[in-house]
Each structure stands twice: as C-alpha cells, then as structure tokens.
Structure 1
C-alpha cells in the first residue's frame, strides 16, 4: 500500500506515521514547509487544494486537516485507483450545532458542510470514506488547550480550573491514530461519521 497523509506533522500524525511504518506501508506525507528527512517517510511539499505535487497511485488517503480543502482537491483530482479515505473532523460539528454563540454555530455548520463535501467527492471517485469526530485532542504536547494548562500547573504547583460550564472528554492523539488504522481495515466503517470521545 502507498498511503498519503495530510497533517503528518500534527500531533495525531506524530503517532500515526510510526504505526504505518511498522505495518510496512509506503508513506507519503504532505507539508506546507520543508521537513527533515524521516526514515521510511517521503515528505512532499504542497498545499490543499490547488498546490499539490504529482502523486503515484494511492491505496489510502488520511487527513487531519480542514475537510473542505481535502474535498475540493478530491473533486478535481485524477486518481488512478479508488483509495480508501479516512479524515478527522470534530465533535464540535454536533455539540455546537445549537450553541447560543453565533461563531460556534457557524463552526459546526462549516464542519458538517466539509463532511458532506468530502463524502460527495469520495463517492464521485468510488472511494470508501470514513470521518472520525474526536473531541478535545491531546497527547504530543502540540495542542493549545490541555498542554498549556498542564505546563502552568507544573510550574505553579497548582491546577487552575478553567472557567466554563461545558463538559470535556479529551482523547489521546495515539487513540485517534489507532482508530484511523482500524477504520482503514474495517469495511463496516465505510460511509460513516464516527464520534470518538476516548480510548474506547
């Protein structure tokens, strides 16, 4: 298999790339910036949707970036085969749908529109697709939510409780990486949007 990964330098990519390599996959990873060489990973430079390099035949496409950009590229791409597509969205697509904050409702709408556009683009190519909706992601120290709070708590020796009444269910980036691999292997995951709120 040749797997193309968008967002390989993200915190989920940090855990996914070694897992793909360990399973013997040929891995291409796209980045906007040049990346240092990494054994087993071929880094390509480009951006979605319109500055993409030439690609070989792909068996799978994995994306941790904006869904609309991926959908726009797929809609115009010429694919030799019908690669399996697994992408992440966010539980905000559902949890913020009826928010009292207009910006949150707009975010939820953008996410759902991106999911629908991706499904349509995949169906045009005959690609099986799965969208994973994680909640608050942590795990590689790259997030801008839990990691800064934890660092501050370690420095101050005090854990500040953030304001707000909403409930949060953080999910580790490696659990999402494992869910991506499971979705690639599981025919029952095709054509589905799956919420993932934790290791289960």
Structure 2
C-alpha cells in the first residue's frame, strides 16, 4: 500500500521508512530539502505549511503517518506553528476516512506543565475531532542509533557523570520498537485509541537507574547528579547563552523534566496481540553507544 509520511527525514521517520519498505509498502515522504533517491520512496518537496505539497503527499495514500513536529522552540508561537498548525494542515489535507496514525508525546498527558506538552495535547484534540480513521501514540523518551537528542547524555556519561532531574521515574523506548509499532498500526484497522508504549520495564526507570544503565552501556561507572529545579533552570539559561537557539536544556524542558512520573499507563499499552517491545533498554543503550562511537561522536 502507499504510506504517506511526515517527518520522514528525521530520527523516528527514518526508521519508519526502513520498516515500511521491509514490509513491502510504497512510501511517500515530505521533505523540505532534496533527498537522495531511494528505491520505494517518493520524496515530496515541501513542508507542513505548504497546502499543495500536502495535497500531493496524501493523494491516493491508504495511510498517513504524522511524525513531524517541533520538540524545541524559543517561544509558544514556535511550538504552536510546528505542532498545532502543522497537525491541522495535514489533517485538512487528508481525505475523510483515511487511516491516520498520529505521533504525539507522553507530555500531552500534562499540558499545563510545558508549552511543548500543551501544543501536543492541542494537536491530539485536532486529530480526535477529525473524520479520519485515527489512532495516536504517546511515546516516552526515545533513543537509538541516529538520535542527536541523547548524544549529550552519552558524552557526559563518558566523562563519568550524568545530570538528572530530582527524584522521579520515566519510561523509555528504542526507536526501532516505536517504528515497528507505527507500521503495524498502519496495517491494522483504526481503534480511535491513544496508546502509550515502552521497553516493557514495569514501573519504568528511576532517573538514577537509567543514568547508571547508560554508564554500563559505555563500560564505565557513572555518578548521577540530581539537580534541583532551580539549578536546572540556571543550567537552561547558561545553555541558552552558550548555544542560543541550539540549546538542548530549555526552561520549557526543565518544567516537564522535573515532573515525578513520566512512566506509561499500563492500561494504555498496545494489545499484546498487536505489538510487544523487542529491545530491552540495556541492550538498546549498548547499541546506541556503539553507533555513536562508530560515527566518531564519542
């Protein structure tokens, strides 16, 4: 079948394309910049604010997977443009009744904690109110080969320490497990459900335990440093001064990092008959560390 994809040039999207091609599907993917030719993939030049490109992307597609979004922005308008307006545009471009798989975020559970979480919840409501045959996924922390968001965590761990939020827990998932779920959902009838998925570790990870697991993946002991919200906010200001718009630690991120429970709701896990995680995070973190080393990033 023809599978239309936003976010195909990104971290998650790249893995979804690989999985979709392995499953025998034809992929049509949106791209802002020219992409190398690839068997089975048709690149559509444009972006989420380009109605003509979206019409070309979705025309005749049996399934649309909406992955594109903004995870970091300087202000509320940036999050709204990337996550709310972009979702509204792709929903409007998709024919009623079309299978639609929407990638949200666990942060949408707590929309008052951060602008990012607010924007992801607003996007969910747009999809839920549509006439599409939708399902949504709320991934927790995503990691794996090719992820630049986690690179700083591994680089700090290589030096023997890790900066974590105050006491709390979080769930994690390997990008390939997430990609596999998205393709499986594309192949199955819509349930109009919101799924929360993870690596299968009951109760998730404490921040301390996950930091130690990164250390084990790198083959060295780690000293996790749990910082107070005030120190994390100070760190966000310093990161902004040093890296400007490329800063990874922002005031908005501090707000949701400090929430004590970012574990998935077991009642919202996908049915076992549909999908189960295949990669334990201990093994996935080792693979990720090896990929960073192979790329000369560590």
Shorter-chain TM-score bucket reads 0.7 to 0.9
Report the counterpart of residue 167 of structure 2 in structure 1. Answer: 165
Who is 1:61 aligned against?
A: 64
Match of 1:152 among 150, 156, 177: 156
Indicate the residue corresponding to 2:128 in structure 1: 119
Q: CA deviation at 1:112?
A: 1.4
In the TM superposition, residue 23 of structure 1 has moved relative to its aligned partner by: 1.5
Distance 1:98 1:166 in 2: 18
- Assess, with a 3 A threshold, how the Cα gap between structure 1 residues 136 and 72 changes in structure 2: closer, same or farther: same
CA distance in structure 2 between the aligned counterparts of 1:78 and 1:14, rounded to whole angstroms = 22
More helix by share: 2
Preserved contact between residue 3 and residue 28 of structure 1 (Cα < 8 Å): yes
For 1:88 and 1:78, how far apart are their aligned partners in 2? 16
Q: More relative contact order in 1 or in 2 (CA 8 Å, sep 6+)?
A: 1
Residue 144 of structure 2 corresponds to residue 139 of structure 1? yes
In 2: Cα distance, 1:192 partner to 1:49 partner: 27
- In the superposition, the TM-score normalised over structure 2's length comes to 0.56
Determine if the alignment matches structure 1 residue 128 to structure 2 residue 145.
no
Distance 1:141 1:24, change over 3 A: closer
Residues 1:107 and 2:104 aligned together: no
In structure 2, C-alpha distance between the alignment counterparts of 1:173 and 1:40, rounded to whole Å: 21
SS in 1 for 2:18: helix
What's the TM-score once normalised by structure 1's chain length? 0.81
Larger radius of gyration: 2
- Residue in structure 1 matching 2:87, options 32, 56, 70: 70
**Unaligned residue ranges in structure 1 (runs of 5+):** none
Q: Secondary structure at the match of 2:179?
A: helix
Task: Report the Cα distance in structure 1 between the residues aligned to 2:49 and 2:111, rounded to whole angstroms.
Answer: 26
- 8 A contact 1:49–1:70 mirrored in 2: no
Is the contact made by 1:61 and 1:83 (CA closer than 8 Å) also made in structure 2?
yes
Q: Which runs of 4+ in 1 moved over 4 A?
A: none
Q: Choose which of 98, 101, 104 in structure 2 pairs with 1:86.
A: 101
Matched, 1:35 2:35: yes
Structure 2 spans left out of the alignment, 5+ residues: 70-82, 201-276, 278-298
In structure 1, what is the equivalent of residue 75 of structure 2?
none
